[in-house]
Amino acid sequence: MKTEWLNAIYGGALIGISASLMLLFVGRVVGISGIIYGLLNQNTKNDSLWRLSFISGLFVGGLILSSQNPAFFSAAMSNGQWPLIVAGLLVGFGTVLGSGCTSGHGVCGVSRLSPRSLFATLTFVAVGIVAVKLFKLIGIVQ
Amino acid sequence: MKNNLAVFFVGLIFALGLGISGMTRPEKVIGFLDVFGNWDPSLMFVMGSSILIHLISYRIILKRQSPLLTSTWNLPQNKNITSSLIAGSALFGMGWGLAGYCPGPSITSLATFQFQPLIFVLSMISGMLLFKWIDKFIKFKR
């Protein structure tokens, strides 16, 4: 099999293991947009602490990756800063309105066979496909 | 303390999975969504293997009385497919296709100390705050 397919399978396995450990340890789903949004609301100290711990883990994992091989990361494909700002606003607003993102709906929700998450995942993948076609056509995305 | 440390490592493993699978490279994400163009299907295996693992582990773990470190399960209960779910997921899909970042990989990419992920994450948080503000008036049924 192609190396990048194998990498996708190995990386996906780590993501699946991570979601399983989250459930086993603290009984929660790994919903990253929800974890971030929870920090923006008034919370007890304890509730904020586990969220910050998870986000720190995501960041330190990034430090390990970039120290091993900077090619784990690449630059965004949009032309200029404005598309990134608009994209961030859409992702932030959309994931809270839609109660989840790729992790919460796409990995955890689909694994739980939640109809809500299946519907959400189909929607954001389908819209993403159409959006990329459109953005490439008008040249916002390379 | 023990719980937060565990959640930190869950986040760290998640980040390694994102990096190894290619999710932290926007050009790969956009290649995956570019079904009508130069399609790169490899990221399908990320969802495939993570869901396969969690589909099985989820059922085994939930046979326990409680999680290992806390006393109760804390899982999403909402079962309704609402217009907010669809609209939010559609907006998220648009933003995902525009930047190639979803929430998790954007946080992990902050570890590169580059400008682009930082702009994206700040905009994403602004999008979430915008939602919070509008929600005060409209009270979305999520």
Please return the burial class of A54, using the count of CB atoms within 10 Å of its CB with bins 0-12, 13-18 and 19+.
buried
Structure tokens at A113: 């066979």
Closest-CA distance, A30 to chain B, in angstroms, reads 9
User: A89 and B126 in contact by Cβ < 8 A?
Assistant: yes
Q: What is the DSSP letter of A107?
A: I
> What pLDDT sits at residue B134?
95
Q: Is the pLDDT of residue A63 over 90?
A: yes
Facing residue for A94 by CB, picked from B25, B48, B91: B91
Residues of B in contact with A29 (CB under 8 A): 75-76
A87 at B interface, C-beta within 8 A: yes
Judged against a pLDDT cut of 90, whether residue A42 lies above it is answered with no
Q: Do the beta carbons of residue B54 and residue A16 sit within 8 Å? A: yes
Query: Which pTM does this prediction carry?
Result: 0.96
* Alpha-carbon distances of A127 from A90, B23, B35, B58, rounded to whole Å: 12, 18, 12, 28
What is the mean pLDDT of the segment spanning A98-103? Answer: 96
pLDDT band with cut points at 50, 70 and 90 for residue A1: low
For A141, the 3-state DSSP assignment is strand
Specify the DSSP class assigned to residue A75.
-
Over chain B (142 residues), what is each successive 10-residue block's mean pLDDT?
94 98 96 94 95 97 95 92 97 97 97 95 98 92 84
Per-residue pLDDT of B19-30, as tens digits, reads 999 999 999 999
Distance CA A123, CA B89 (A): 6
Q: What is the pLDDT of residue B120?
A: 97
Q: Which residues of A touch B57 (CB under 8 A)?
A: 16-17, 19-20, 23-24
Q: Are A40 and B128 inside 8 Å of each other by CB?
A: yes
Handedness of CA B103, B107, B110, B112 (dihedral sign): negative
Compute the nearest-CA separation of A115 from chain B (Å). Answer: 7
pLDDT, mean of residues A4-10 = 95
Tell me which residues of chain A, numbers 120 to 139, contact chain B at a CB-CB cutoff of 8 Å.
120-121, 123-133, 135-136
Residues 20-59 of A with CB under 8 A from B: 20-33, 36-37, 40-41, 49-50, 53-59
- Residue A68, pLDDT above cutoff 80: yes
Span A37-53, mean pLDDT? Answer: 89
